[in-house]
Chains A and B, each alone.
Chain A
Amino acid sequence: MTESLLFFDTDCLSAFLWVNQENLLEQLYCGRIVIPAEVYKELSIPTIPHLKAKVDLMLKNGIARKASIQTETKEYHLYRKLVTASDSGHVIIGDGEAAAIALAKVYNGILVSNNLKDILVYVHEFSLQHKTTGTILKEALEAGLITEVFGNQLWQGMLKKRRKLGFLTFSDYLKNESQ
């Protein structure tokens, strides 16, 4: 059975890039990582060239692939709806997260995003499979790729780069998951 593709939002992908752990993504999901063009653009800001260089290397080595949304496709119409918040009661979401949601929905993939407050409504509405940075680190722990201590160090590094992880430590996250 073909495993589902993972459609990454900027927040989650950048969290791993900032702590130099894109290799974890490679070991867990090599070839299944999809970076929407809108996310690629958000990571191509000239003031953070090192992040773009890492993404380019992932693309070059086939660890990840880039996906563009073509006009007049199903995903395009959904994407437009999300970025303009044409449904009342919904906030306008970012181009990167909207692209990741639209692509995950249409291609029956997994949405990888941390912005739970804003995207959970779509996860439920579209019955999307969903992962966060915490989920990925937990999978890395279970696969023996990291220890809990190292996971906590990465967690702190990500928090330092203002990534919104929902818990103060990786251990707190694991505790909450086991309850």
Chain B
Amino acid sequence: MSLHVENLKVYYQTLRGDVRALDGATFDIADGEIMGLAGESGCGKTTLAHSLIRLTPPLKFIEGKVELDGEELPLADMEKMDDFRFRKISIVPQYAMNALNPTRKIRKMTAELLASKGASMKAIETELQRRLDLVGLNPEVLDMYPIELSGGMKQRMVMVLSTLLDPSLLMADEITSALDVSTQKAVAEMLVEFRDRNFVKSMMIITHDISILYQVADTIMIMYAGQLAEKASRETVIDSPRHPYTKMLISSLPQVGVQVNVTRLAGIPGTPPQLLEPPQGCRFRARCPLAFEKCLQVPPFVEVEPGHMVACWKEPGKHA
């Protein structure tokens, strides 16, 4: 499968005007790729995820084209998108712990959901049991009400449910944020397992926690203020990033064993711009130590070496 996103723009409608939350995203995810999507709060990563699967007001589709496995996704058409949801593209949402109907037994809810999508519970049941086993859930959970499950169990249930029809692309939205460190690792590894067993073809893991991505992602894409900053293999992003923001981001991560009296933790001075009337050009301009006049124009997100995309006028040489 492959995901091809071209110049996707999705804004938030507010009484004071449109917030330009996602302003021109162009990138690809290859077959079998696990891409981590990272960035600060408000950088647009959740907007991107929601745009791909459930674009409802106050989100407003402005322009752009998204192709999944060669087919164009009718993002703005809620009804037409239903054909793609769950089967081709799916999500494990941030609110996974509340995502199950509290007054329905899980088995019944699953059966009804499948039936409404034209799938049969009978046909899938054995596979469902197998997957429950894989994530460490007792098959008895199917006959329970969500209230009887712990938070972690509910989340795993949602993971199984969302991938039940083997979607091409799975988006995992901040699924580790509420967990302790060891459970985080377990959940992240479960995701990789899903990909390795072909339950899903490709994945987009959205988080603000880069250390998780370092463990499980193939590639990492960094977003800032509604724009894409950099996308490369995880080693490249961690060890040799090229975008000034990425560089400062990585260097501001605490490292095990480093003591504060030896090396102080560096932050990034300043704050992200508000997106109601965003600054002209590159949105990192105000905080970037390398900014110059050309930065008043939006730098394109281009390939500076195979598999490495950056949006910065300083990289590579030919644009300067």
| B partners with A | no
> Which residues of A come within 8 Å of B, CB atoms?
none
